[in-house]
């Protein structure tokens, strides 16, 4: 049975906070906690390519569990990548070490987009199995499933790889709206199916990463992007799991990103949580937003910053402590463990 229904995770601090409650300790997890900051991860990955690791259920499950064991965080996040469902739908994409997702050929024209095929449900078997194995080990600790939002996926598909300002994608949405809509609609259904598979296999919450959406104006976001993000999360709306929505540099977009129908907003480190809460209304639970740059600062500096984040988070109805973006690879893992201890100490709650 699903862990939210059989009682394993329904009363966990993470799920309570995502539903707007204040558990006795502040729940905490870290975006990109499963990965290169951990020596045990690097050891397991030797000789295995990133996407092959994602599609090996034994490996994806073990890598997901590593940071949960080591840090005592309040959630696991499934080890995968936003481009995994694209690969499973037949797109020629690879993850190049130190660079990120790279396409065999970019998708820029109506003819390119017409070659895209839907994701066959059977292709998701390695994901379903990886999640099921992980959830069986996690007990009362919830697993968060995730997916990339259509715009962030399109930022890779149209550019053909990582880009600084996603200019070609931002051109296409205006230059050829019909092709743009077809591409984003395809991406919404592929990424939505990836989310749904993770929830059905036992994930207790999901996070939609629209990492690069901060490059858009509110008008472009609302008219050219938001309908497709809504289409993506519609794939899980009947399943009753909390949905978190996150992007980088989204101070001006927070309200529009919440309005697609999500439960929790992730906030990056550019905007203090009390300001974010004033923009969204205090009823919206927030997640964030430790500045990743401070992970390498002396502990007293980082400690004061974490306590300030927790204090500002009190402006919202509920708060899940996290970073403002992912864990940098060079982070000392002991620093992450120390942040978890601080968040779980009674003093941090009553500060």
| Residues found near ligand CP3 in the complex (CB under 6 A) | 31-36, 50, 77, 79-82, 95, 97, 100-101, 146, 152, 162, 209, 211, 326
User: How many Å apart are CA 96 and CA 100, to the nearest integer?
Assistant: 5
Least distance to ligand CP3 from the beta carbon of 346, Å? 28
Measured torsion, CA atoms of residues 8, 10, 16, 19, in degrees rounded to the nearest 10:
150
Least distance to ligand CP3 from the beta carbon of 81, Å? 4
Q: Is 18 a catalytic residue?
A: no
Of 72, 36, 77, residue with least CA distance to 287: 77
Q: Is 8 a catalytic residue?
A: no
Of 304, 293, 299, 288, residue with least CA distance to 338: 299
- Closer to ligand CP3 by Cβ: residue 93 or 113: 93
- Closer to ligand CP3 by Cβ: residue 36 or 314: 36
Which residue is catalytic, options 16, 45, 87, 133? 45
- Closer to ligand CP3 by Cβ: residue 21 or 165: 165
- Closer to ligand CP3 by Cβ: residue 26 or 207: 207
Which residue is catalytic, options 74, 81, 263, 269? 81
Q: Is 334 a catalytic residue?
A: no
Instruction: Identify whether the C-beta of residue 147 lies closer than 8 Å to the C-beta of residue 194.
Output: yes
Six-digit token pair at 84?
């995994």
For residue 336, the SS3 value is helix
The alpha-helical segments, DSSP class H, found in the chain are 13-18, 39-45, 50-54, 57-71, 84-88, 110-114, 125-138, 150-159, 167-175, 177-200, 218-220, 226-233, 254-258, 273-280, 299-313, 333-344, 346-350
The β-bridge relationship of strands 264-266 and 93-96 is unpaired
Least distance to ligand CP3 from the beta carbon of 337, Å? 15
Six-digit token pair at 189?
């259904």
- Closer to ligand CP3 by Cβ: residue 207 or 277: 207
- Closer to ligand CP3 by Cβ: residue 20 or 249: 249
Least distance to ligand CP3 from the beta carbon of 283, Å? 26
R_g of the chain, CA atoms, integer Å = 19
Angle at 342 between CA 337 and CA 348, to 5 degrees: 160
Q: Which residues pair with 323 in a beta bridge?
A: 290
Q: Is 99 a catalytic residue?
A: no
Which residue is catalytic, options 8, 156, 196, 224? 156
Least distance to ligand CP3 from the beta carbon of 314, Å? 26
Least distance to ligand CP3 from the beta carbon of 1, Å? 25
Catalytic residue ranges: 32, 36, 45, 81, 156
């Amino acid at each position: 049975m699903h862990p939210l229904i059989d009682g394993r995770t329904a009363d966990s601090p993470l799920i309570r906070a995502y539903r707007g409650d204040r558990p006795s300790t502040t729940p905490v997890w870290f975006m990109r906690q499963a990965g290169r900051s951990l020596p045990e991860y690097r050891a397991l990955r030797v000789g295995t390519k990133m996407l092959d690791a994602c599609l090996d259920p034994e490996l994806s499950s073990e890598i997901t569990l590593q940071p949960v064991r080591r840090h005592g965080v309040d959630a696991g996040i499934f080890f995968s990548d936003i481009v995994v469902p694209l690969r499973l739908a037949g797109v020629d994409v690879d993850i190049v070490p130190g660079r990120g997702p790279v396409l065999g050929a970019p998708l820029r024209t109506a003819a390119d987009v017409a070659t895209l095929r839907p994701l066959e449900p059977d292709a998701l078997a390695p994901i379903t199995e990886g999640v099921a194995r992980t959830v069986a080990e996690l007990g009362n600790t919830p697993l968060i499933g995730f997916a990339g939002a259509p715009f962030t996926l399109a930022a890779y598909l149209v550019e053909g790889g990582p880009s600084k300002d996603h200019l070609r994608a931002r051109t296409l949405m205006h230059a050829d709206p019909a092709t743009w809509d077809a591409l984003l609609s395809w991406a919404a259904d592929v990424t939505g199916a990836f989310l749904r598979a993770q929830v059905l296999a036992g994930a207790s919450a999901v996070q939609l990463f629209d990492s690069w959406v901060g490059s858009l104006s509110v008008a472009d976001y609302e008219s050219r992007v938001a309908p497709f993000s809504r289409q993506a999360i519609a794939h899980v709306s009947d399943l009753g799991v909390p949905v978190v929505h996150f992007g980088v540099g989204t101070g001006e977009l927070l309200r529009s990103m919440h309005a697609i129908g999500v439960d929790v907003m992730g906030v990056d480190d550019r905007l203090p949580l009390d300001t974010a809460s004033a923009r969204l209304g205090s009823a919206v639970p927030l997640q964030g937003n430790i500045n990743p740059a401070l992970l390498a600062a002396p502990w007293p500096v980082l400690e004061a910053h974490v306590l300030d984040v927790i204090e500002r988070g009190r402006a919202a109805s509920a708060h899940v402590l996290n970073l403002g973006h992912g864990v940098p690879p060079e982070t000392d893992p002991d620093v992450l463990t120390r942040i978890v201890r601080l968040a779980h100490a009674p003093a941090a709650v009553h500060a």
